[in-house]
Amino acid sequence: MSEKLEPMGGKLGEAFDDGVFDGVRKIFVGEDKDNECVSYIKIEYEKDGKFETREHGTLRGELKQYAVEYPNEYIISVGGSYDDVSSYDTVVIKSLIFRSSWGKTSPILGATNFFGYLTGKEFRIEGKTGGKLLGLHGRFDKALNAIGPYFNAVDPSLKQFNLKGGDGGGSWDDGAYDGVRKILVGVGDDYVSYVSFEYAKGEGTMTHDHGTRKDTPKEFVVDYPNEHVTLVEGTTDRYLTSLLFKTSKGRTSPAFGKVAGSKFAFEEKDFKLVGFRGNSGKYVDGLGAYFGPIPAPTPSFTKMGPLGGSKGNTFDDGVFDGVKKVTVGADEYSVTYIKIEYEKDGKVETREHGTARGELKEFSVDYPNENITAVGGSSDHIFTYDTTLISSLYFTLSNGRNSPKFGETSGTDFTFKGENGAKLIGFHGRGGNAIDAIGAYFGAGSG
């Protein structure tokens, strides 16, 4: 998620918009000394581990650069000055200044007065919710007329925990990711001196490290995405003295460091750790965190079959929460018809297949107190129709109750049964004048 902030400067010139990247590694700025303004800007972005460059304006004059140690350091502020330049007869950017997450400020890139200070109308743009520079937009012609930033915006669904510990060292903010895969903690002189976090980002990873690495750090590995860090606990005494982590699987890491000083804990019910922020130098001075909602588990299911004949039209009901009632029609040859009342999010949805003829019988399920856990029956070649059809069906419930048999058993028997008491959550198969073939979906867990 990103926020696009209004550009500062003039209204003339050709518009440019670099869009949004993962971050900025380096910026080159050209100064037109004769006209005392910024004539050119080139930005080195990173996107999915690859570098991409964008440039705007006219390359002339002295070229200066500002680089950050990305991804551990990143730009959090874009500032400078703008004013009317008579030779261009318009307002242009006269100078630029950038500030990083480590608290470092770039030199003035562009024009200054005799004393080395900014000239013109000064500006400074930061994200409304903090965060790093992701891209630039603005206007240019013979010079840089206007400039505005994209900053990453903090997701409102995130829970932010304020910094605990001291306020020394350079500040940093890793931002928020999908989760945490690995944590390294180094200790020196009775303080936590180094931390490294390997975050999950889509199918890839992003690592941020902070502080001063001394002795070999100790690691705590998380079985992401099946496991999440749900508690960060620690102690502080001017600096961070210890760290401990607990996971959604009930595991607890060792206490890294010496448990001494004031205790703190970052924890939110049904939330997981997705990022850290803090400040560090020789030691890790302070630590804060971002927690995001733990997603609801994706319903797992097993698709079985279909068994029976190869004719008829394919049907696939998909998956539901459970089954409330099944109506089955049968004549002297086969099962001709099936109607299923499913439940989904508290509502009943009906699906029917085949042709309603012969004797119709219902089988009701006291859902969710009981569930269908097995579907059995038989299929046979029906010479009258010269095709294989489902000749019988029956159902078994989670409490051991069995339905009556629908149709007459003949041909080849079959049974679909979910593992570990999984419940029936959907049917698929083939049907037309009768039920040619049938298969089932079973979901984990039964009521």
Residue 299, pLDDT score: 62
Residue 169, pLDDT score: 84
- Mean pLDDT value across residues 184-189: 94
Residue 444, pLDDT score: 63
C-alpha dist (Å) from residue 401 to 103, 375, 392, 397: 70, 13, 18, 5
| Calpha distance 172→23 (Å, rounded) | 14
- Mean pLDDT value across residues 97-108: 89
Residue 153, pLDDT score: 74
| Averaged pLDDT score across all residues of the chain | 92
Amino acid (one-letter) located at 7: P
| DSSP string for 111-154 | ---TTS---SEEEEEE-BTB--EEEEEEEESSSEEEEEEEEEPP
- Mean pLDDT value across residues 61-68: 90
Residue 446, pLDDT score: 34
Residue 317 has pLDDT above 90, yes or no: yes
Backbone angles phi, psi at 420, to 5 degrees: 55, 40
Residue 54 has pLDDT above 50, yes or no: yes
105: which 2 tokens? 């400020």
pLDDT higher at 124 or 444: 124
- Mean pLDDT value across residues 391-408: 95
| Calpha distance 128→123 (Å, rounded) | 15
Nearest residue to 406 (alpha-carbon basis) of 338, 349, 354: 338
Contacts of 156 (CB under 8 A, 6+ apart): none
Residues 259-269 pLDDT 10s: 999 999 999 99
Paired strand residues for 234: 243, 264
- Mean pLDDT value across residues 399-413: 95
Looking at the chain, the whole-number percentage of residues with pLDDT higher than 90 is 78
Residue 156 has pLDDT above 90, yes or no: no
pLDDT higher at 102 or 114: 114
Residue 128 has pLDDT above 80, yes or no: no
Residue 316, pLDDT score: 96
pTM metric for this prediction: 0.53
Residue 233 has pLDDT above 50, yes or no: yes
Domains, the chain, ordered by start:
2-152 (2.100.10.30), 159-293 (2.100.10.30), 301-443 (2.100.10.30)
pLDDT higher at 47 or 95: 95
Residue 298 has pLDDT above 70, yes or no: no
Can you tell me whether residue 421 is helix, strand or coil? Answer: helix
Assess contact for 66 and 98: CB atoms under 8 A: yes
CA atoms within 13 A on the CB side of 245: 24
- Mean pLDDT value across residues 296-308: 84
Per the listing, tokens 């629908």 go with: 406
- Mean pLDDT value across residues 73-90: 93
Residue 447, pLDDT score: 36
Per-residue burial over 414-445, b if 16 or more Cβ lie within 10 Å, else e, is: bebbbeeebbbbbbbbbbebbbbbbbbbbbbe
Residue 1, pLDDT score: 63
Burial class from Cβ neighbours inside 10 Å (0-12, 13-18, 19+) for residue 318 reads middle
- Mean pLDDT value across residues 306-313: 95
Residue 129, pLDDT score: 62
Residue 445 has pLDDT above 60, yes or no: no
Residue 102 has pLDDT above 90, yes or no: no
Residue 284 has pLDDT above 50, yes or no: yes
85: which 2 tokens? 């330049």
